Amino acid sequence: MSDETRLIHAGKTSAPLAETVGPPIQKGSTILLPNAEALYDDANYLTYGRAGLAAQSALQAALCELEGAEGVTLYPSGIAAVAGAMLALLKAGDEVLVVDSVYKPVRRFCDNVLKRFGVAVAYYDPRTPAEKLVADASAQVRMILLESPGSLSFEMQDTPRIAALARERGILTCIDNTWGAGLLFKPLAYGVDVSIQALTKYVGGHSDVFMGSAAAREPSLVRKLADGINHMGWAVSGEDAYAMLRGLRTLPTRMARHGASGLEVAGWLRDRPEVAEVLHPALPGAAGHDLWARDYTGACGLFGVILTPAPAAATNAFLNALELFGLGFSWGGFESLALACDPQLAVRKHRRDYGGPLMRLHIGLEDPADLIADLRRGFDAFKSA
Ligand SMILES: *Cc1c(COP(=O)(O)O)cnc(C)c1O
């Protein structure tokens, strides 16, 4: 044979592969099938690489363990996971009730995409009692999308109660559980139908990979979510799945540290004269603490802080004086971050007057004493601005 042919057929993998601790990162669009019958036998063979190879399957199996799920679908980002679950489970004519404190890009998807395809969207106040929320739902309501604690403002919802009441009415519940990361709160065990998270945050843990997941127990939902992925043509790479799985190995260890350091910093902040309120459901006495104590086994490092009334110049001076906290939008990584929230609150339907600027902190894996010293620097700048 000529070199052209020999080079195309040379260098194939010799099976079986040596066993390593992590899965192999397979790369492949084509999957070679053992015989002609297997070509159209989707029941017994993986026939195309887009469905995911070794690293993706290993990650899915591990996430099933974490979430207590029958099936987990992977998406190229957290926002794609929320959008993907909604697209897979809703149709024209349906209505979805979305918590008003939802992650802002989810609202953008609902308003710009779902509505365009004939799905009605209504935003409910996170403080609405579960009974009223479900009793007031119209006959068209097919899904309630929760996020608890809410993005930026950290309202806790009575998720198990909402899930139980919604189930009685045949309404699906989906939750963005990025704060709980599938670890601190187990939505499926509390009756929620679909548990969604931005793996980008705590599971990845290193602020360098985008991915999202949707987990379900009910086989028909698992199937619909998987079909949704297939219809949309979404896929995640083996390299990214491998990185996520590596993050997952240390999730509980990292989370314990994020949670403990977060509470230490939150407790210190609560006693500061520049702080009006700390929005951290795991902090005793804070709003939502009873629900957190009932349903959660721990805390992550993300919480809100309402400062005493001050002009934007003072909050900017506070942020600009921080040396250890980065200024940025993500969270869940090893590093501490801070941002001002007020510009993001204007889109909300049920706005609340916080009486002062709302800030969000992510407490990373640094020594909390060093972080407190950094915040003290911030407050010095805040006071003199
Ligand atoms: C970051 C985030 C998302 C989206 O995750 P991406 O991977 O950035 O798309 C969704 N929900 C919440 C609560 C988030 O914080």
- Give nearest CA residue, ligand 1 atom 5: 78
What pLDDT score does 12 carry? 85
Residue type, 5: T
CATH class of the structural domain 251-384: alpha beta
Is residue 228 lining ligand 1, measured as CB closer than 6 Å? no
Contact 249, 205 (CB under 8 A): no
Q: Is 45 a catalytic residue?
A: no
Q: Is 124 a catalytic residue?
A: no
User: String of b and e for 59-90 (b: at least 16 CB within 10 Å)?
Assistant: bbebbbebbebebbbbbbbbbbbbbbbbbbbb
For 36, counting Cβ atoms within 10 Å of its Cβ (0-12 exposed, 13-18 middle, 19+ buried), the class is exposed
Q: Is 161 a catalytic residue?
A: no
Q: In this predicted model, what pLDDT tens digit does every residue of 264-320 receive, in sequence order?
A: 999 999 999 999 999 999 999 999 999 999 999 999 999 999 999 999 999 999 999
Contact 363, 265 (CB under 8 A): yes
Confidence of residue 236 (pLDDT cuts 50, 70, 90): very high
Q: Is 167 a catalytic residue?
A: no
Q: State in Å: Cα 123 to ligand 1 middle.
A: 19
Query: In the predicted model, is pLDDT for residue 14 greater than 80?
Result: no
Q: In this predicted model, what pLDDT tens digit does every residue of 139-183 receive, in sequence order?
A: 999 999 999 999 999 999 999 999 999 999 999 999 999 999 999
Share of the chain above pLDDT 90, in %: 96
What pLDDT score does 367 carry? 98
Is residue 103 lining ligand 1, measured as CB closer than 6 Å? yes
What pLDDT score does 15 carry? 79
Q: In this predicted model, what pLDDT tens digit does every residue of 67-81 receive, in sequence order?
A: 999 999 999 999 999
In the three-class reduction of DSSP (H, G, I as helix; E, B as strand; rest coil), residue 7 is classed as helix
Q: Where are the domains of the chain?
A: 36-249, 251-384
Confidence of residue 13 (pLDDT cuts 50, 70, 90): confident
The CATH number of 36-249 is which of 3.40.640.10, 3.40.50.720, 3.40.50.620, 2.160.10.10?
3.40.640.10
Q: State in Å: Cα 385 to ligand 1 middle.
A: 33
Which of the residues 94, 100, 158, 176 is marked catalytic? 176
Confidence of residue 238 (pLDDT cuts 50, 70, 90): very high
Four-CA torsion 121, 154, 212, 339, nearest 10 degrees: 110
What pLDDT score does 228 carry? 98
Mean predicted confidence (pLDDT) in 216-244: 97
Q: What is the pTM of this model?
A: 0.96
Mean predicted confidence (pLDDT) in 11-22: 87
Tokens 């403080």 sit on residue: 127
Mean pLDDT score of the chain? 97
Which of the residues 45, 50, 161, 377 is marked catalytic? 50
In the three-class reduction of DSSP (H, G, I as helix; E, B as strand; rest coil), residue 128 is classed as coil
- Give nearest CA residue, ligand 1 atom 8: 78
